[in-house]
Structure 1
Amino acid sequence: MAQAHEHGDGHAHAPHEHHDHAPAVTRGNRRAVLFALLLTALFMGVEAVGGLLSGSLALIADAGHMLTDVAALMLAWAGFHFGRRGADARKTFGYQRLEVLAGFINAVALLALVLWIGWEAIGRLRAPAPVLAGPMLAVACAGLGVNIAVFFILRRADTGHVNIHGAMLHVLGDLLGSVAAIAAAVVIHFTGWTPIDPILSVLILGLILRSAWRLLGDTLHILLEGTPPGIDIARLADDLKARVEGLAGVEHVHVWSITSGRPSATLEARLAPGGDPRAVTAAIKRALAETWGIGHSTVEVVWEDVADCALEATPHRNR
């Protein structure tokens, strides 16, 4: 068994082992997400061009909302693709945070798009522009069909995966955008009332803004290493103290995420008199994984009667 080695702080630490933190992902998930991504991105371009040619701001806004789908699918695919790359000495957690960086950039771009379309909508309400209802209706109907197809592609994948589930929610929201564009085209065709186009484009903007704002908040929270949703540090500490025999208390608890759905934790555990450090460490790691969903944790054990003596447990991989 590996021997503990001394650090400059006077504590004894067990040596860390190298672990691969990449999530297990099936080939079917990767293929489904990639196909849905390519299909959505392709039609997003078609819809944007159709909006420019027909003069429909609602179509352009719906293309912008499809960009949120592309962002969600790209994040899912990036998580799958880069998560497969193993960690190394320079990147000990691999490339998983690229998913979060991509999400942050996408969120900022979407907010800029909201501002531009909102400005255009105000201008068109003041001075209505002509809209070609026929091409607008054709493109909007095709967009609805593409969204339905993408939804069923994703539904055949592992919907329990957080990224796939999130992408499906985005696609469902985009279905509403396509329906709004169809409604605008029908109204313009039968009544000639073109202000319906910028009015409905503003409603679509609400969907984009909601998705972009949530994405921005989630990615910033991870980049700032905030506590993952659903984890209360005080409750976690109390739960460990109540459940783990030989544990007097925990201090300096830090819980964060390298990427979405991958929480990690470090903490200092104070042993009760007679407590077995190895048993306490194993019990803490088991409780963190089974109750709190924290698969990677580092525990430093401190004896009450020896102030400068500590043992840092090696990371534990759950099987």
Structure 2
Amino acid sequence: MSVRSLLPEDRNSRRLLLAFLVTVVFMVAEVIGGMISGSLALLADAGHMLTDAAALLMALTAVRFARRKANARHTFGYLRLTTMAAFVNASALLLIVVLILWEAIRRFMTPEPVLGGTMLAIAIAGLFANLLAFWLLHQGEEKGNINVRAAALHVMGDLLGSVGAVGAALIIMYTGWTPIDPILSVLVSCLVLRNAWGLLRESFHELLEGTPQEIDIDKLRKDLSLTIPEVRNVHHVHVWQIGEQRLMTLHTQVIPPHDHDALLGRIQHYLSEKYKIGHATIQIEYGVCEMYDCTLNDAAAISAASGQGHHHHHGHDHGHHH
């Protein structure tokens, strides 16, 4: 199986590395600023940036591993690592949200004095740092790389946190009303929660070898039969995704063609063009499929096979279209 072009991954790596360095530098600045000004908001934001840095480092490692070539032990290479990293990142985001909410409740009940001016200066610097990191990652979203998106979500949450910190600093400077700080952090948490939950569901679905969301298996079976006249009965269909690559296996009963390879090529071309399935393994059959595994996901095949005689032969063809 050929691995995707390395160039987009290289660009992703470079952007992830830059975003990681920017995040670490400003995390240190926020810790120092938080201690000087006595602002829990800045310290909480620094904590958030620490998890961002960890998420970016994990994403960077996963992208590096994903570029390793496939071998006999790992025939798909390490593409699945990116999905696993996204899943861990999303889980970490949910944990962060819980900690932010807990801290917000505590601060709301016991407000503490804050040096608004110092807090504002550091919060604005942090805001620009997060804007830069978010821009870098947004540029790197090559065809929706789930792993880069996970890192971008972390930084977006932090970006909203910085906006909140700037707003809170201004209000504290002009009115001295400290409870605005935890109120804003709760609003930010709700936005982060929504994004994290979506990412968690998507990465979990992929880890379970789920069918990609945009693909309707029943429609695919009907479309294939309607588009290619020789194709009669499409069954035993499995579609899944590893990294950004879609894979598929299917059995199809056909009218014996004049040119066997040409028919296989037409099926592969259709799957590639219409459904973006770049790696399909197709078994062509001239009789009814009576193999035990045909019944895994096609009850109709059982009744069809039981009503047929045993005079048939199978053509086993593995087509790879990249």
Q: Which of the five TM-score ranges fits, normalised by the shorter chain?
A: 0.7 to 0.9
Is the 1:273–1:304 Cα contact (8 Å) retained in structure 2?
Answer: no
Please name the residue that 2:213 is paired with.
229
Please name the residue that 1:254 is paired with.
238
1:205 aligns with 2:189: yes
**Partner residue of 1:88 out of 67, 71, 82:** 71
Q: How does 1:133-172 map to 2 (within 5 A)?
A: 133-154=116-137, 157=139, 159-163=141-145, 171=155
Q: Distance in 1 between matches of 2:153 and 2:219?
A: 31
Q: What's the C-alpha RMSD, in Å, of the aligned pairs?
A: 2.8
Q: Distance in 1 between matches of 2:27 and 2:143?
A: 25
Does the C-alpha gap of structure 1 residues 226 and 45 become closer, same or farther in structure 2, counting only changes over 3 Å?
farther
SS of equivalent to 2:6: coil
Please name the residue that 1:105 is paired with.
88
Higher helix proportion, which one? 2
Q: Distance in 2 between matches of 1:279 and 1:117?
A: 60
Of 132-141 and 91-100, more deviation after overlay is shown by 132-141
Q: Structure 2: which 5+ residue stretches go unaligned?
A: 291-311
Is the 1:61–1:204 Cα contact (8 Å) retained in structure 2?
Answer: no
Q: Structure 1: which 5+ residue stretches go unaligned?
A: 1-18
Of 235-244 and 267-276, more deviation after overlay is shown by 267-276
Q: How does 1:46-195 map to 2 (within 5 A)?
A: 46-48=29-31, 50-51=33-34, 54-63=37-46, 66=49, 70=53, 73-74=56-57, 77-78=60-61, 80-154=63-137, 157=139, 159-163=141-145, 171=155, 174-195=158-179
Percent of pairs with identical residues: 47
1:309 aligns with 2:313: yes
TM-score normalized by the length of structure 2: 0.81
Q: Distance in 1 between matches of 2:154 and 2:100?
A: 19
Of 172-181 and 91-100, more deviation after overlay is shown by 172-181
SS of equivalent to 1:161: helix
Of 74-83 and 284-293, more deviation after overlay is shown by 74-83
Is the 2:62–2:85 Cα contact (8 Å) retained in structure 1?
Answer: no
Does the C-alpha gap of structure 1 residues 272 and 315 become closer, same or farther in structure 2, counting only changes over 3 Å?
closer
Is the 1:130–1:194 Cα contact (8 Å) retained in structure 2?
Answer: yes
Which residue identity does 2:320 align to in structure 1?
Answer: H
Which residue identity does 2:79 align to in structure 1?
Answer: Q
Q: Distance in 1 between matches of 2:258 and 2:48?
A: 57
What is the count of residue pairs matched by the alignment? 298
Is the 2:225–2:234 Cα contact (8 Å) retained in structure 1?
Answer: yes
Does the C-alpha gap of structure 1 residues 275 and 217 become closer, same or farther in structure 2, counting only changes over 3 Å?
farther
Q: Distance in 2 between matches of 1:68 and 1:279?
A: 53
Q: Distance in 1 between matches of 2:112 and 2:256?
A: 80
Which string of whole-angstrom CA distances, capped at 9 and with x for unpartnered residues, describes residues 118-143 of structure 1? 11111221221222323321221111
Q: Distance in 1 between matches of 2:122 and 2:24?
A: 15
TM-score normalized by the length of structure 1: 0.81
Q: Distance in 2 between matches of 1:315 and 1:83?
A: 24
Q: Distance in 2 between matches of 1:42 and 1:94?
A: 34
Does the C-alpha gap of structure 1 residues 144 and 186 become closer, same or farther in structure 2, counting only changes over 3 Å?
same
Is the 2:101–2:186 Cα contact (8 Å) retained in structure 1?
Answer: yes
Q: Distance in 1 between matches of 2:189 and 2:256?
A: 61
Q: How does 1:6-85 map to 2 (within 5 A)?
A: 19-26=1-8, 27-48=10-31, 50-51=33-34, 54-63=37-46, 66=49, 70=53, 73-74=56-57, 77-78=60-61, 80-85=63-68
Is the 1:268–1:299 Cα contact (8 Å) retained in structure 2?
Answer: yes
The structure showing larger relative contact order (alpha-carbon pairs under 8 Å, at least 6 residues apart) is 1
Which string of whole-angstrom CA distances, capped at 9 and with x for unpartnered residues, describes residues 12-53 of structure 1? xxxxxxx23344324444323321222224323543554466
Deviation at 1:210, TM superposition (A): 2.0
Does the C-alpha gap of structure 1 residues 221 and 50 become closer, same or farther in structure 2, counting only changes over 3 Å?
farther
